[in-house]
Amino acid sequence: MKSPDVAGSSAASVIAAATSDEPLYPKATPALAEQRRRLAPEPAKALRAFSQSVFAEGALPAKTKRLIAVAAAHVTQCPYCIRSHTRTALRQSATREEIMEAIWVAAEIRAGGASAHSALPLETIAHESACQPPGVDRIAEDRERSHDAHVRSAE
């Protein structure tokens, strides 16, 4: 088997990017925020007003809303949101323990979603099994074909 030539390939650029000193995300700066506002002032203004409205005291205390935001930011995996909402939650007297507990709630919801969605492949498996003639294991055949194709592509 030939060893792959990664120099010049997209794999080489991915490895180089992953090992560079350059951050994955640019640092959030006032200059970038100003650029966003300048390039699309009306949507920026509307988003700011919406955000202020959402995070204002209401049926839920502002601190609780920020803890929800910290959890949601982890589910959406937005590093900017994680930092911003964590800072604001701390300013609104959230404890480290409350923040971490909110993050664990988010993790459970994410894991629960993956577990709950297992109903989709289970239903598909049951349907496919019911549609095949007796003695034919299409799932095993598909797996074998997939494995054979993978082996051939690696050669």
Tell me the pLDDT band of 150, cut-offs 50, 70 and 90.
confident
Q: What is the pLDDT of residue 16?
A: 65
Is 56 a member of any domain? no
In this model, does residue 126 exceed pLDDT 50?
Answer: yes
Q: What is the pLDDT of residue 2?
A: 46
In this model, does residue 5 exceed pLDDT 70?
Answer: no
And the tokens for 10?
Answer: 């997209």
Q: How far is CA 29 from the centre of its chain?
A: 23
What's the structural domain count of the chain?
A: 1
Neighbouring residues of 1: CB distance < 8 A, sequence distance ≥ 6: 154, 155
Is 137 a member of any domain? yes
Task: For 22-69, write each residue's pLDDT tens digit.
Answer: 788 889 899 999 999 999 999 999 999 999 999 999 999 999 999 999
Is 82 a member of any domain? no
Q: What is the pLDDT of residue 151?
A: 76
How far is residue 146's CA from residue 152's CA, in Å, rounded to a whole number? Answer: 10
Is 91 a member of any domain? no
Q: What is the pLDDT of residue 98?
A: 98
In this structure, which amino acid lies at residue 5?
D
How far is residue 153's CA from residue 108's CA, in Å, rounded to a whole number? Answer: 38
Is 140 a member of any domain? yes
Report how far apart, in Å, the C-alpha atoms of 12 and of each of 8, 19, 25, 53 are.
6, 11, 20, 46
Task: For 91-125, write each residue's pLDDT tens digit.
Answer: 999 999 999 999 999 999 999 988 899 999 999 98
Is the CA virtual torsion 38, 41, 43, 46 positive or negative? positive
Q: What is the pLDDT of residue 1?
A: 44
**pLDDT, average across residues 71-93:** 96
Q: What is the pLDDT of residue 3?
A: 46
Q: What is the pLDDT of residue 97?
A: 98
Is 141 a member of any domain? yes
Is 139 a member of any domain? yes
Domain of 142? Answer: 118-155
Is 152 a member of any domain? yes
Considering only residues 2 and 118, tell me which one the structure prediction assigns the higher pLDDT.
118
How far is residue 72's CA from residue 74's CA, in Å, rounded to a whole number? Answer: 5
Q: What is the pLDDT of residue 153?
A: 74
Tell me the pLDDT band of 134, cut-offs 50, 70 and 90.
low
